[in-house]
Amino acid sequence: MEQRWGFLSPWCNVLLYRIHHRVLEEDTSDAWRAPSCALQVILPTRAGIYGEYRDDQTFQIEFQNTREALALLAAVAHVDFDAWRYLLSTYCGLDSTGQIEAADADIPVRFVLLMERQAEMDLVQLCGITQRRIVSEGYVNCLQRIGALSGKLHPGKPGFDVEIPVRVIFSSSSQGSIQILESIQNAEKLIREQWESYNWSLENQPVENGHLRCSFLLEPMIGDLTAVGCAPDLAETMARFVGENVWFSQLSLKASMEARPDNRATLMSFRQMMAVVFDATRRSEELANTRYCTQLETFRADSPLQLGNIFLQCDSTLGPSEFESMFSAIVLTQTTKKLSLKMCPKAKNQTDRREWWKWLAYGCFSERARTHSVLESLILTDIDDMGVVDMGDFSVVLSSEHPEEVLYGSAHGVRVEQDMMLKKKAPVQWLLTNEGQPRVGYPPVRFSGAVPYVRTFSDDGKSELVNVLIPGFGRCLVNREDLVAVQDPQPNGCSWGLKSLTLRFAEHSPLNCRGGLPRLLSAGGSSLLFLTIDGPGEELDVNVILESCPNLLELSLRKGWIRVLLNFSDFHARKESVPKLRFKWQDVTGLTADLSNMHNPFTKCVRRLSIRFEGFGSSKWVRHDPTINTYLDALLQMLAVNQTLEYLEVIVPSECHNYRDFFRIHHLRAINRGRKLSMGTKVAFLSVVAAKVQSLSRKKGKTVKREMRSRLTQCYLDRSVISNIFGFAMSPLFRQVYFQEKMNDG
């Protein structure tokens, strides 16, 4: 490896202490997937470590060297991923703290920049056209050598442009955070304008035959706005950003009220923030200043929207009026497919808790959410209570034909609920009493533009003022003459119900085992394909879950020591119902016995298993009590006979290190399950067969009728033969077994 790639050591030395691994908390819905990581880069600055300013020429040389060194590393990763890891660990200093070993071997090459100051021109210099116009001779020569080592590039064949994704991380904890956020937007705009001009110029030339070229691509930023809550200046900035089609790959917010919850500015900024973050307008990525790297599989699979994954942290200052503000916008959202809600630490009273669950039902599970929202994945964390009474209200909202009337306890209207358009500058009574009357001292608000998807309810058909639900503002009163009927108002897109739901219970709450979970799943589980139940919530029979969630493909359960993943896709593919599953998944001995029985339907469903033996107290107890050894022996016996388990993780006290080699024997052994062929591969195979049949027909000089051609195909390949061909073509799966030792002091 050194002989092959050692010529890059001077370039790697440029990056020494400038790069390190960083976990990107993009998606916490999949507990089995390793955290997404990237390389965080510290770019050169014009100021030295002691605050002195260097001359511009010195800075430009150092900046160019850093940019070109990053590009060369990315080119190596494209050619040889093992070499990329070798260079990082040997020359860039990433192995000194075990970062390389902790990283996922399949991590894509992605760089992130933490912006703690206004440095828009540095960002433009990294991702703009400077990277094409100003390159050093040494960089070009090294890039050619890397291309020659790939073995895939030939002089007579087209070259390849390696896209290097770059994301900016913005944290609102920095001083002047709004100005920094605006400088990032300005940089994005400048970079887009530069490339648009460049692409229409004669400078824009294709990659030379047989060569590599590297291009830094600015992806949507990661925004952490939790430090400033819903402050008025941030709400105004986000309103402008969303309207101007600024994109985020991830957005973290804190839903909270300031010390003066009755202050008009505080109330208005919270509602404005909810309305813009969960905007009902879907905007095109093609018109954005940034774009995702399409060479990565993750983009093609997820197709994220304008604000990417949204993490919303709710604190105890929120009340029912904030719940309606939040979920009246979420029910129409076109900005995100994935939402993570960290629930209030503790509801102020039982009434507030019931209101939370009622509004959650409306915003994420209702018929209106199914037909108007694009939300597909919901993660609820820190759940400290899910009682029968709460879930009874949850179910009533979902089963009602008039859910808005249920939410407010208002009279049944003469006219049916309807989505309408509110005229521009129309007066809106936006802050009402519990009786639905305008509060004294709060004048009406007027929106600068027309507001779509305003929902009328409890409409008697004759009064001057009409009850409406405005996204982000909740229940309001408007003049009847200011509402305009819209023929068949349809949103830009919808999800037709949640596909993924994750429920994470608070670890130490005494209230979370009160029988409400079955009711929640019964009311809202019909559309779910993926379900995760994590934490010390009530025990629930898997068969009860499957009855409530008939379309479920994967179920992940975790309680105590054990986490298990069950997959039901094989039954759905064969259009068979999942048989009754009888097992004790929290009993290690019984569980291993079930997994050793290859005729047990449960065994065929279990794909992943994780056991953490962390409650065994002191090392003295471990040495003298044989229980943990009995469990480990049972797991080894199971591995010897089980042919379907894909993944096993065992975490033990350090005193059990003598089992390490016994478990390692089972790592990367082929099992009786393969990776299914993609639909594209199957279609390509069948198209070749069909073309061959047509070719044979023409050579015979006869006109073959469609029926005869079908018979000719069937005589070679009937359904059974094709199925067997696809089965043999699947690449084998290799079981992953991880045995980790944890010190007793944690």
**Which residue, 677, 667, 669, 610, is CA-closest to 643?**
669
What pLDDT score was predicted for residue 100?
Answer: 40
Whether pLDDT at 552 is above 90: yes
Q: Position 388: which residue type?
A: V
**Neighbouring C-beta atoms of residue 691, cutoff 10 Å:** 10
What pLDDT score was predicted for residue 530?
Answer: 96
Q: How far is CA 59 from CA 14, 35, 46, 49, 673, in A?
A: 13, 35, 6, 13, 55
Range name among 194-198, 350-354, 545-549 with the lowest pLDDT average:
350-354
Strand partners of residue 652: 741
**Which residue, 309, 390, 311, is CA-closest to 349?**
390
What pLDDT score was predicted for residue 743?
Answer: 67
Mean pLDDT of 311-339: 93
**Which residue, 212, 165, 196, is CA-closest to 70?**
165
Range name among 317-331, 349-363, 604-618 with the lowest pLDDT average:
604-618
What pLDDT score was predicted for residue 189?
Answer: 96
CB 339 within 8 A of CB 375: yes
3-state secondary structure of 696: helix
Average pLDDT of the chain is 85
Alpha carbon distance 225, 238 (integer Å): 10
Q: How far is CA 129 from CA 134, 218, 247, 641, in A?
A: 9, 12, 21, 59
Strand partners of residue 532: 502, 556
Whether pLDDT at 22 is above 70: yes
Q: CA quadruple 588, 589, 595, 600: dihedral positive or negative?
A: negative
The two structure tokens encoding residue 310: 């949204």
Whether pLDDT at 384 is above 90: no
**Which residue, 316, 309, 240, 320, is CA-closest to 273?**
240
Packing angle of the helix pair 177-199, 232-243 (nearest 10 deg): 10
The two structure tokens encoding residue 713: 């195909």
**605 membership: H or E segment, kind and range:** helix 601-605
Strand partners of residue 479: 465
Range name among 141-155, 297-311, 457-471 with the lowest pLDDT average:
297-311
Alpha carbon distance 244, 240 (integer Å): 6
Q: CA quadruple 121, 126, 130, 134: dihedral positive or negative?
A: positive
What pLDDT score was predicted for residue 496?
Answer: 84
Name the H helices within 6-119: 9-14, 56-79, 81-91, 99-102
Where are the extended beta strands (E) located within 125-195?
A: 160-171
CB 71 within 8 A of CB 131: yes
Q: Position 391: which residue type?
A: M
726-735: per-residue pLDDT in tens? Answer: 666 677 889 9
The two structure tokens encoding residue 362: 């409306």
Instruction: Give the position of tokens 């959202």.
Output: 333
The two structure tokens encoding residue 76: 């190596």
The two structure tokens encoding residue 404: 């808005």
Q: CA quadruple 670, 671, 677, 682: dihedral positive or negative?
A: positive
Alpha carbon distance 329, 275 (integer Å): 6
3-state secondary structure of 339: strand
The two structure tokens encoding residue 737: 């077994």
Where are the extended beta strands (E) located within 562-694?
A: 562-567, 606-612, 647-653, 669-675
Q: How far is CA 28 from CA 108, 310, 364, 500, in A?
A: 18, 11, 18, 12
Whether pLDDT at 397 is above 80: yes
What pLDDT score was predicted for residue 258?
Answer: 67
The two structure tokens encoding residue 701: 């000089």
94-142: per-residue pLDDT in tens? Answer: 764 444 444 444 556 889 998 877 778 899 999 999 999 999 999 999 9
Whether pLDDT at 564 is above 90: yes
pLDDT band at 269 (very low <50, low <70, confident <90, very high): very high
Alpha carbon distance 577, 596 (integer Å): 23
What pLDDT score was predicted for residue 249?
Answer: 94
pLDDT band at 27 (very low <50, low <70, confident <90, very high): low
The two structure tokens encoding residue 222: 């990661």
Where are the extended beta strands (E) located within 667-717?
A: 669-675
CB 379 within 8 A of CB 502: yes
Which residues, at least 6 apart from 584, have a Cβ–Cβ distance to it below 8 Å? 590, 591, 594
Q: How many H helices and E strands in the chain?
A: 28, 25
Q: Which residue did the predictor score with more confidence, 616 or 432?
A: 432
Whether pLDDT at 507 is above 80: no
145-173: per-residue pLDDT in tens? Answer: 998 888 888 888 888 999 999 999 998 87
Instruction: Give the position of tokens 């828009």.
Output: 120
Q: What are phi and psi of 368, to 5 degrees?
A: -65, -40
What pLDDT score was predicted for residue 97?
Answer: 42
What pLDDT score was predicted for residue 261?
Answer: 57
What pLDDT score was predicted for residue 621?
Answer: 47
What pLDDT score was predicted for residue 98?
Answer: 42
714-726: per-residue pLDDT in tens? Answer: 455 666 777 667 6
Q: What is the DSSP letter of 436?
A: S
Write the DSSP string, 481-497.
GGEEE-SS---S---SS
**Neighbouring C-beta atoms of residue 488, cutoff 10 Å:** 5
Name the H helices within 154-211: 177-199
Alpha carbon distance 552, 260 (integer Å): 45
What pLDDT score was predicted for residue 65?
Answer: 95
Alpha-carbon radius of gyration of the chain: 30
**359 membership: H or E segment, kind and range:** helix 350-360
674-703: per-residue pLDDT in tens? Answer: 666 667 777 777 777 666 656 655 555 555
CB 160 within 8 A of CB 207: yes
